[in-house]
Structure 1
Amino acid sequence: MFKIIENPYLQEEILTIIILIVFLILKSIIAKIVIKYATLNDALEHRTNLIIKYINILLGVLAILSIVIIWGVKRDQILLFISSVFAVVGVASFAQWSILSNITAGIVLFFSYPFKIGDVIKIHDKDFPIEAEIEDIKAFYILLKTIDGETITYPNNLLMQKGISVIKKHKEISEFTD
Structure 2
Amino acid sequence: MFSFKEYSKEILATIVLFIVLMLLRIIVAKLIRKFAKTSERLEHRTNLIIKYIHLLMNTLVIISLIIIWGVDTKDIFITVSSITTVIGVAMFAQWSILSNITSGMILFFSFPFRIGDTIKIHDKDFPIEAEIEDISAFHVNLRTKEGEKIIFPNNLLLQKGISIMTNTYEEKEFFD
Q: TM-score, normalised by structure 1?
A: 0.83
Superposed CA deviations along residues 3-47 of structure 1, whole A, max 9, x for unmatched, are xx6633223222222221221111111111111111111111222
**Which 5+ residue runs of structure 1 have no aligned equivalent?**
171-178
* Aligned amino acid, residue 155 of structure 1: P
Superposed CA deviations along residues 36-81 of structure 1, whole A, max 9, x for unmatched, are 1111111112221221122112212222232234337224433323
Larger CA deviation: 9-18 vs 31-40: 9-18
Aligned length: 167
Aligned-pair CA distance for 1:96: 3.1
**1:61 aligned residue (59, 62, 83):** 59
Query: Aligned pair 1:35/2:33, yes or no?
Result: yes
Residues 140/19 of structure 1: CA separation in 2 closer, same or farther (3 Å cut):
same
**2:92 aligned residue (70, 94, 100):** 94
Residues 69/37 of structure 1: CA separation in 2 closer, same or farther (3 Å cut):
same
Residue of structure 2 equivalent to 1:108: 106
Larger CA deviation: 23-32 vs 9-18: 9-18
Q: Distance in 1 between matches of 2:94 and 2:68?
A: 29
**1:81 aligned residue (70, 76, 79):** 79
* Aligned amino acid, residue 134 of structure 1: I
**1:125 aligned residue (123, 126, 131):** 123
Residue of structure 2 equivalent to 1:143: 141
Contact 1:73 1:81 in 2 (8 A): no
Q: Distance in 1 between matches of 2:69 and 2:93?
A: 30
SS of equivalent residue, structure 1 residue 118: coil
SS of equivalent residue, structure 2 residue 114: coil
**1:50 aligned residue (48, 53, 56):** 48
Q: List, as ranges, runs of 4+ consecutive aligned residues in structure 1 with deviation greater than 6 Å.
A: none
Q: Distance in 1 between matches of 2:157 and 2:134?
A: 13
Contact 1:131 1:146 in 2 (8 A): yes
Higher relative contact order (CA 8 A, sep 6+): 1
Residues 21/88 of structure 1: CA separation in 2 closer, same or farther (3 Å cut):
farther
Give % identity.
Answer: 57
Residues 71/39 of structure 1: CA separation in 2 closer, same or farther (3 Å cut):
same
Larger CA deviation: 114-123 vs 90-99: 90-99
**2:68 aligned residue (56, 67, 70):** 70
Q: Distance in 1 between matches of 2:4 and 2:52?
A: 41
Contact 1:120 1:132 in 2 (8 A): yes
* Aligned amino acid, residue 58 of structure 1: L
SS of equivalent residue, structure 1 residue 58: helix
